[in-house]
Structure 1
Amino acid sequence: MRRRTSPTFDPAAVTPWNARIDGLGFGGDYNPEQWPADVRAEDLHLMREAGVNLLSVAIFAWATIEPREGELEWGWLDDTMDQLHAAGIQVALATATASPPPWLTRRHPEILPQRADGTVLHQGARQSYAVTHPVHRDYALRMTARMAERYGDHPALALWHVDNEIGCHVPRDYSDAAATAFRTWLNERYGTIDRLNDAWGTAFWSQRYATFDDVLPPLVAPMFANPTQQLDFDRFSSDALLDYYRDLRDTLREITPQVPTTTNLMTTSTTKGMDYFSWADDLDVVANDHYTIAADPERHVELALSADLARGVAGGEPWILMEHSTSAVNWQPRNRAKTPAEMLRNSLQHVARGADSVMFFQWRQSRAGAEKFHSAMLPHAGTDTDVWRGTVELGGVLQSLGEVRGSRVEARAALLVDYPAWWAAELDSHPTQDLRYMDEVRSWYSALWRLGVSVDVVPPRADLDGYDLVVAPTLYLVEDEAAANVAAAAERGATVAITFFSGIVDEHDQVRLGGYPGAFRDLLGVRTEEFVPLQVDERVEVVGKAVGGDATADLWSEKTHVLDGTEVVATYDGGPLAGRPAVTRRDVGAGTAWYVGTRLDREGLDALARTLVEESGVRPDLEAPAGVELVRRRSDDGATTWLFAINHTEDDVTIDGVTGVELVGDSAVGGSLPVPAGAVRVLRETPAR
């Protein structure tokens, strides 16, 4: 992997991305190269009507700017930048590198990425490049430098948008270029081939390597590939994608050190290819793309989780929602349209959870190409549509909420998420292939969401001192330092809950011997001698006050023993594990440590979550009806709070015990806040005397 020397860089000299934006950002991807001049003129008029103040431009414009190698056509982009500036609209200008032009892949087919079975991914879609190939890297850096040199001083430029959704379509590339870069990465990680052999356990199946030159990516093989080889390739791939971002960013910084840089991440419960926590320090502001899944009846809960994850990557700082959809998308099996009320709720959920900008793909719905049926702010049917009216309404609402800009979400509960643990937990040849890491994360998040508990989603190595409740679902892989960090939270006074298949292996995917859950065995005061995964449709009963009296569990059970001082709070009822512990609790220092050795049904998990919330003292101060989301943002000085009340139900509700000014309707609230069905209300709360 090629390494650039980072230029001397002073973060304090960077102009904030929203320095010339009044209040919250609002806009989306703008692709003027798809339209004639008269349509672009109409765009400017309608953008003013909607209140647009921020656009991403030139994301997929490489072939338009450079239709033939070395022949540059800047006129249309020069005009666009000038016109947007005149309209008072700021630009997140892309490096135009998100897809190489056809002439480049024709001349240099060696830059194309490959799958594990050797299939070459050809030109004709997007992201048809291997990030590790030096030829592609040189061309991408050249285009990035051209953009910076031409537009670095343009008054419309607010932010550099580096490439686009890096790793979205090719999170793992198995090309020859990737193989070479992988070997370099391994040499840097291990130093000697003997250390690699030890970490990978290559004595098994005669896999011992004599030299780094013998190592390949985990290609399609006759049987299971070495699990640590797979895990390290996941780590390498995330680092390779980040290295690509860094190279383009450093090129921009050399020319425009005052302009902030970012790329649009995809922090969702389904995007596992990149360890975004390791990317955070390289982004001047975190930007995220999110799309709800139409078939998911609780997609608003998944949205909340993804937004909290974006905020976690941002270290609690405000972030940018770079893309979401006004209505239907084009890439799901059945692409359901949203109502304008749902679009407004989706947008303000992100704002409630820390976004200082709401943006969409895209401004004007395309008339051609693979995304022509993807919704936009301005749809095919024009302005006499619910989508357009919803766009204008949202622009007005965001304008009324400008004062929340820069404020932060406060939470006393932490949900631990770790990408290497995610990768490792879903490797093959495990006790069950039905375990999905993010299913467990989402189950616990949903239980806390239903209780109205605000949650920070953070990695296990994060500073946990500010949290009274810490939940670690299926932390299968954990390093010693992270395990000690979690234990220290309990010692300090937090309630810590750790679930099944946690602490099992170290960073090399090597089992921690002596009984499960390995790294957490002493903290929890339990020892599991073997796992007893459940078969498809098999259920076990679990009884105990902590799970609501009786509950049903599936997927997982364990033959667990408790050590002195550990309390059994729920047991299996019937079957081969009858009477054995299912949930335990142990006093640790000033706090407690809970172990959940099975996957509880919704009712049982809700009861257990309620028990943990009560014990830890993180129960919110306001009660909300089921399906109504309450989230607070707080000013930096702590003097002002804003309460977001988001009604996901079909019934009108009232939130009691609040006073202040409701910003959406600009009305005084003196004790109770009405929130109509499907609506959002935002209250600037009156400080308590």
Structure 2
Amino acid sequence: MRKQQNYQWNTLSLGTCYYPEHWDKNMWEEDLERMLAHGIKTIRIGEFAWSKVEPREGEFTFEFFDEFLKVVAKTDMNVIFGTPTATPPAWLTEKYPEVLNCRMDGVKFRHGMRRHYNYNSPVYQKLCKRIVEKFGEHYAKHPSVIGWQIDNEINCEVDEFYSESDTLAFRKFLKEKYGTLDALNQAWGSVFWNQEYTRWEEIYVPRITIHNSTNPHQTLDYIRFVSDSAVKFCKMQSDILRKYVKKGDFITTNGMFQNLDNHRLTDEALDVYTYDSYPNFAYCLCEDPKHSKNLNDRRWSDKLTEVRSICPHFGIMEQQSGANGWNTRMEAPAPKPGQMMLWAMQSIAHGADYVSFFRWRTCTFGTEIYWHGILDYDNRDNRKLAEVKKIYERVQAIEETAGAKNQAAFAMIKDYSNIWDAQVDVWHRRLTWSSEEEIFIASQLNHTPMDYLYLLENTEVEELLKYKVLIYPHGLILSEKKAALLKEYVAKGGCLILGARTGQKDENGKCVMTPMPGLLSEISGSDVKEFTFVGPADENVMMDWNGNMLETGIFNDILEPVGTHANVLAKYAGNYYKGSPVLIENTYGEGKVLHFGGTFTRENVKAFLDYTGVVETYRDVVEVPEECEITVKEKNHKMYIFVLNYSDQKQEIWMKKPAKDMDTKEQAEGKISLGAYETKVYEIL
């Protein structure tokens, strides 16, 4: 069982990201007072300001932030201080080029951007320890400082590391994991293409090869190594800060990025997790939002749901407030009137109790001159600032929902081995990425709230039993421990839905020589006899489920029932395997398993949710059109319904039970009209 999070906001609150080093000192006090007047009570500072404290190696000055904090102390503003390790200064990278990260071909990433360092350089670790110690020792005691952000966006920009320091650290990682080269060669299948290793010095992080095809088992271990390195780098900093933080203050970092076990990161290094939410990416000029099938900005609810699996009550360190883009890449339009409120409420609806807008004012210089903040270059009041004030009024009106627990009708199972294997294995990736998106879209369009449930080393069956239905889309990699956990869940009454390719591999990513679904065959009552991608020349392969014709997706396992409790629910209606089983139900203990031989689509997921009795769980409370999302929260035996209209058109909802409008405090029932991008929060009476 995972430990409880160490810190939780006890009220809903707003913040913004502020960079005093970017602005004239004469603007500081006016900026802070202006923020407070619009409901912003917390600022994040310092995460890119190493040189303000250590302008030259070993020369420390605290004058700049001391002066700024004196101004802060005159106000009621709170401060989250960032450690500045995401952007090592020029003197450091010039004198110690070994701290720089490299491309796979060994070419160093030079100074001039950000996140150009590697986690494993002993020199960089030493200098980071020292600057974090100086920051914590000097600033943590300040009464305005309430929290700390470690680094900035761990594994953002780049999540692969190929420096000499990384190779040395990778060898150490592998020695600790395998002990002997014989064990490593066996795990990696190194006999293939004559890759056997006879000395540890022969092993490197992945390097350039023909077609850039590396040993998949080595690469899977390499991703685990990158995650391990990032977690240790973050923990190194949090261990230092804990010597200085005041009682009641917190340590966090802002995620969520790839090649990183964010659950382990949170458990080992953080008090609370924060996320950077930019729904406007859905409208980048490279996209086609008018013809998108992935729900555009509403898709960020998927990411927020995943953040909630890491930390049930999280914060947003950077919330979309303006158009976004750099001078070198990324172009997106300004949020339309109402979308700032919509996106802030999207975050709160999914578990955020703190929302901090990026940024206070758009920077007038540097790479992010087009990453707009609340205020534009001219510094005048604008509609975005007015909308922040409305968001603050909304936050006050729904304050009692702080800390409320999100409710879900079902959960999708994930685990890091399969996430990382899908990055290595393009066959795995096509299945997983397609099915996971479609499961989320189905939950949204059918107003059936979902959770993500990660299978971790310390996951216990009680966490699974919270859900009547679990979907494990494509668990190619299975372990004895995960299989045992799933068996216990089903035996105790759970309903487990499996997709194609289940049980194909072991934890090293090697294919097992047993029939799929491998370690879950005992509970699935099924055997995979054959399998194939649905080719470009094939028609969509349908299945006949009691006369209901549904697509079976992009990959098909041809199944056969095994045992007396297995029942064929549906058969393929096309291709050379027409008439063969595609969906088998098997009872096991008090529960059941549905083994589906295809990949998931929004249509067949709806059928699964309907069959298992969880579709539209809250239809007796509220009915809404597809253009709207609902989330449900509970606290102190009260139920709260959040309704969010992502459309630029008016939408009608139907409150079927008496409810209190949290804004007006008036009773609401029957047909209610929501304007473009409008959101509502109701307490069900």
TM over 0.5: yes
Aligned residue number for residue 372 of structure 1: 369
Are residues 86 and 642 of structure 1, via their aligned partners in 2, closer, same or farther at CA, if it must alter by over 3 Å?
A: farther
Does the aligned pair in 2 maintain the 1:498–1:594 contact within 8 Å? yes
Q: CA deviation at 1:445?
A: 1.7
Q: Matches of 2:169 and 2:390 in 1, distance apart?
A: 49
Secondary structure of the residue aligned to 2:464 is coil
Q: Matches of 1:113 and 1:566 in 2, distance apart?
A: 54
Are residues 133 and 537 of structure 1, via their aligned partners in 2, closer, same or farther at CA, if it must alter by over 3 Å?
A: farther
Matched, 1:135 2:135: no
Q: Matches of 1:313 and 1:50 in 2, distance apart?
A: 31
Are residues 536 and 141 of structure 1, via their aligned partners in 2, closer, same or farther at CA, if it must alter by over 3 Å?
A: farther
Secondary structure of the residue aligned to 2:533 is coil
Aligned residue number for residue 666 of structure 1: 665
Aligned residue number for residue 326 of structure 1: 321
Does the aligned pair in 2 maintain the 1:260–1:284 contact within 8 Å? no
Aligned residue number for residue 281 of structure 1: 267
- After superposition, where does 1:572-587 map in structure 2 within 5 Å? 572-587=572-587
Does the aligned pair in 2 maintain the 1:551–1:600 contact within 8 Å? no
Q: CA deviation at 1:36?
A: 0.4
Q: 1:410 aligns with which of 407, 411, 433?
A: 407
Q: Matches of 1:54 and 1:470 in 2, distance apart?
A: 39
Q: 2:440 aligns with which of 436, 445, 470?
A: 445
Does the aligned pair in 2 maintain the 1:382–1:388 contact within 8 Å? no
Aligned residue number for residue 551 of structure 2: 552
Q: 1:291 aligns with which of 274, 278, 295?
A: 278
Deviates more, 1:301-310 or 1:327-336: 327-336
**CA deviation string 1:263-307 (max 9, x = no partner):** 43433xxx4321212223122011111222223541344211111
- After superposition, where does 1:161-560 map in structure 2 within 5 Å? 161-222=149-210, 224-256=213-245, 258=247, 260-267=249-256, 271-282=257-268, 283-292=270-279, 293-294=282-283, 295=287, 297=292, 298-314=295-311, 316=312, 318-330=313-325, 333-428=330-425, 432=427, 435=430, 437-461=432-456, 462=459, 463-536=463-536, 538-545=538-545, 549-560=548-559
Does the aligned pair in 1 maintain the 2:9–2:403 contact within 8 Å? no
Q: Matches of 1:471 and 1:194 in 2, distance apart?
A: 37
**CA deviation string 1:599-652 (max 9, x = no partner):** 3544333333332344997977543222222212222xx322322111223223
**CA deviation string 1:173-196 (max 9, x = no partner):** 011100111111111112222222
Q: Matches of 1:551 and 1:669 in 2, distance apart?
A: 39
**CA deviation string 1:325-372 (max 9, x = no partner):** 113210564412211312211111111111101112211111111111
Q: Matches of 1:490 and 1:79 in 2, distance apart?
A: 61
Question: Partner amino acid for 2:680?
Answer: R
Are residues 336 and 580 of structure 1, via their aligned partners in 2, closer, same or farther at CA, if it must alter by over 3 Å?
A: farther
Question: Partner amino acid for 2:502?
Answer: S
Secondary structure of the residue aligned to 1:532 is strand
Q: CA deviation at 1:554?
A: 4.0
Are residues 299 and 617 of structure 1, via their aligned partners in 2, closer, same or farther at CA, if it must alter by over 3 Å?
A: closer
Deviates more, 1:573-582 or 1:53-62: 573-582
Q: CA deviation at 1:662?
A: 1.7
Q: CA deviation at 1:498?
A: 1.1
Question: Partner amino acid for 1:201?
Answer: G
Does the aligned pair in 1 maintain the 2:557–2:597 contact within 8 Å? yes
Counting aligned pairs with the same residue, the percent is 25
Question: Partner amino acid for 1:89?
Answer: M
Q: Matches of 2:217 and 2:660 in 1, distance apart?
A: 56
Aligned residue number for residue 88 of structure 2: 100
Secondary structure of the residue aligned to 1:255 is coil
Does the aligned pair in 2 maintain the 1:441–1:473 contact within 8 Å? yes
Q: Matches of 1:301 and 1:657 in 2, distance apart?
A: 25
Question: Partner amino acid for 1:539?
Answer: E
Q: 1:647 aligns with which of 645, 648, 661?
A: 645
Does the aligned pair in 2 maintain the 1:24–1:356 contact within 8 Å? yes
Deviates more, 1:646-655 or 1:146-155: 646-655
Aligned residue number for residue 74 of structure 2: 86
Matched, 1:612 2:612: yes
Question: Partner amino acid for 2:174?
Answer: L
Are residues 600 and 668 of structure 1, via their aligned partners in 2, closer, same or farther at CA, if it must alter by over 3 Å?
A: closer
Secondary structure of the residue aligned to 2:478 is coil
Does the aligned pair in 2 maintain the 1:82–1:156 contact within 8 Å? no
Question: Partner amino acid for 1:240?
Answer: S
Secondary structure of the residue aligned to 1:557 is strand
Are residues 142 and 341 of structure 1, via their aligned partners in 2, closer, same or farther at CA, if it must alter by over 3 Å?
A: same
Question: Partner amino acid for 1:233?
Answer: Y
Are residues 537 and 68 of structure 1, via their aligned partners in 2, closer, same or farther at CA, if it must alter by over 3 Å?
A: farther
Deviates more, 1:434-443 or 1:677-686: 434-443
Q: CA deviation at 1:251?
A: 0.7
Secondary structure of the residue aligned to 2:15 is strand
Secondary structure of the residue aligned to 1:608 is helix
Question: Partner amino acid for 2:643?
Answer: A
Are residues 46 and 500 of structure 1, via their aligned partners in 2, closer, same or farther at CA, if it must alter by over 3 Å?
A: same
Secondary structure of the residue aligned to 1:558 is strand
Q: Matches of 1:558 and 1:682 in 2, distance apart?
A: 44
Secondary structure of the residue aligned to 2:640 is strand
Q: Matches of 1:61 and 1:536 in 2, distance apart?
A: 53
Question: Partner amino acid for 2:639?
Answer: T
Q: Matches of 2:506 and 2:353 in 1, distance apart?
A: 38
Are residues 620 and 191 of structure 1, via their aligned partners in 2, closer, same or farther at CA, if it must alter by over 3 Å?
A: farther
Q: Matches of 1:389 and 1:215 in 2, distance apart?
A: 58
Are residues 534 and 381 of structure 1, via their aligned partners in 2, closer, same or farther at CA, if it must alter by over 3 Å?
A: farther
Are residues 161 and 665 of structure 1, via their aligned partners in 2, closer, same or farther at CA, if it must alter by over 3 Å?
A: same
Secondary structure of the residue aligned to 1:230 is helix
Are residues 447 and 92 of structure 1, via their aligned partners in 2, closer, same or farther at CA, if it must alter by over 3 Å?
A: same
Question: Partner amino acid for 1:607?
Answer: A
Question: Partner amino acid for 2:645?
Answer: N
Q: CA deviation at 1:540?
A: 2.8
Q: Matches of 1:658 and 1:619 in 2, distance apart?
A: 10
Secondary structure of the residue aligned to 1:575 is coil
What is the TM-score when the length of structure 2 is the normalising length?
A: 0.91
Q: CA deviation at 1:411?
A: 2.3
Deviates more, 1:585-594 or 1:158-167: 585-594
Q: Matches of 2:25 and 2:490 in 1, distance apart?
A: 63
Aligned residue number for residue 132 of structure 2: 144
Q: CA deviation at 1:131?
A: 0.8
Aligned residue number for residue 683 of structure 1: 682
Does the aligned pair in 2 maintain the 1:545–1:570 contact within 8 Å? yes
Q: CA deviation at 1:252?
A: 0.6
**CA deviation string 1:542-567 (max 9, x = no partner):** 13236x71133442122332223322
Are residues 397 and 381 of structure 1, via their aligned partners in 2, closer, same or farther at CA, if it must alter by over 3 Å?
A: farther
Q: CA deviation at 1:515?
A: 1.4
Are residues 520 and 184 of structure 1, via their aligned partners in 2, closer, same or farther at CA, if it must alter by over 3 Å?
A: same
Does the aligned pair in 2 maintain the 1:62–1:97 contact within 8 Å? yes
